[in-house]
Homo-oligomer: A and B are copies of this chain.
Amino acid sequence: MRDRSDHRPTMGDIAEAAGVSQMTVSRVLRGSGSASAEARARVEQAAHQLGYVPNRLATALRDESTPLVAVILPTLGNRVFSEVLAGVTETLAGQGMQPVFGVTEYDPLREAALVRDLLSWRPRGIILPGLEHAKGTRAAIRASGVRVAEVMDLDGDPISVAFGLSQVEAGRATARHMLARGYRRFGWIGAQGGRDLRASKRLAGFRETVRAAGAQMVAERVFDGPSAMVQGRRGTAMLLDGLARPDAIYFANDDLAAGGLMHCLAEGLTVPRDVALAGFNGLGFLEALPVRLTTVETPRREMGISAARHVMGDGPVAEAKVDLGFRLVAGETS
């Protein structure tokens, strides 16, 4: 018999202490099956006294199913993903499920490694960003048989079901809006060294529409690090001081765009007369800015909620793409 002295108490220990069988302990603690009031009391007392903590690993192994959902995010350095995650978490919590998660920093290989790792916990489902994955990731997920939800993007071929919006269309819509306002010389400011494929898709849609209208992209600046207001401010300064001065700047997101606006405020430029600005996401903090930024509102929390619901559900998978839409919000900067 092994030494149990430094072991966490198990149902066996409780059984011994309470003078019943281990099965009775199991029944009492789970409130299933029947047990005499007598036994119940003794078990509960013993469990409490020993400081018993159930071991879900055992339950999960036995049940061949866990209440876990794997969640993969590109980064935590962007509110957008915290909001998606918040939607997921809130939805899971209501159902007694737990998120296990990891962050890729926009690296497909890290994503692949994470997927492997997370799948080995036998989660009920997996939620991951975007539709582009490293070779093999797709197959691994498919083979694992877990329910999958891809979020953010719809422009591509989902593994199973995607919840999001067309990034290309969002770019096009922004371009149409800016063109309608009369701007002809466009700039682009991005981040993540171009590794954010969804931003690239928006830019592609934007550029295509701009060119089709006979207007042009005159300057682009993509920063290497995470997107941040300060980069937007710096990039805007660069573009406006450059040779090919744009009359409107499209930013990869609101943080960058707000930074651009801050540059203009600090320099005393008049927006949009001196330069027009447009962001992406419609984050809450835009409401507080002294000037309303033109942006495209995206359903971040909703993507998280829908994805979580999907992976928890056990109904059949209906559509491959669920378009949660976007909304162009014309502000005072265009």
A296 to B230, CA, bound (A): 19
- CB atoms of B118 and A89 under 8 A apart: no
Enumerate chain B residues within 8 angstroms of A102, measured Cβ to Cβ. Answer: 89, 93, 98-99
Chain copies in the assembled complex = 2
Kindly specify which of A149-157, A185-193, A203-211, A280-288 makes contact with the partner chain: A280-288
Q: How many residues of chain A are within 8 Å of chain B by beta carbon? A: 60
A55 to B232, CA, bound (A): 45
Enumerate chain B residues within 8 angstroms of A195, measured Cβ to Cβ. Answer: none
User: When A100-B98, A100-B100, A101-B99 are in contact, do A53 and B120 touch as well, CB less than 8 Å?
Assistant: yes
Bitwise, A70-109 to B at CB < 8 A (1) or not (0) is: 0000001101001101100110010010111111000000
Enumerate chain B residues within 8 angstroms of A228, measured Cβ to Cβ. Answer: 284-285, 288
Interface of A is mostly: helix
Enumerate chain B residues within 8 angstroms of A51, measured Cβ to Cβ. Answer: 139-140, 143-144
In the complex, which residue of chain B has the Cβ closest to the Cβ of A114? B93
A312 to B255, CA, bound (A): 35
Residue A262 CB within 8 A of the other chain: yes
Residue A279 CB within 8 A of the other chain: no
Contact of A57 among B121, B144, B266 (CB under 8 A): B121
A63 CB to nearest chain B CB (Å):
10
Residue A66 CB within 8 A of the other chain: yes
Bitwise, A268-286 to B at CB < 8 A (1) or not (0) is: 0000000000000000110
Contact of A262 among B53, B144, B290 (CB under 8 A): B290
User: When A61-B58, A102-B98 are in contact, do A288 and B258 touch as well, CB less than 8 Å?
Assistant: yes
Contact of A93 among B103, B139, B259, B265 (CB under 8 A): B103
Residue A15 CB within 8 A of the other chain: no
- CB atoms of A229 and B288 under 8 A apart: yes
Enumerate chain B residues within 8 angstroms of A100, measured Cβ to Cβ. Answer: 68, 98-100
* A contacts, CB < 8 Å to B: 7-8, 51, 53-58, 60-61, 64, 66, 68, 76-77, 79, 82-83, 85-86, 89-90, 93, 96, 98-103, 116-122, 139-140, 143-145, 228-230, 232-233, 255, 258-259, 262, 265-266, 284-285, 287-290
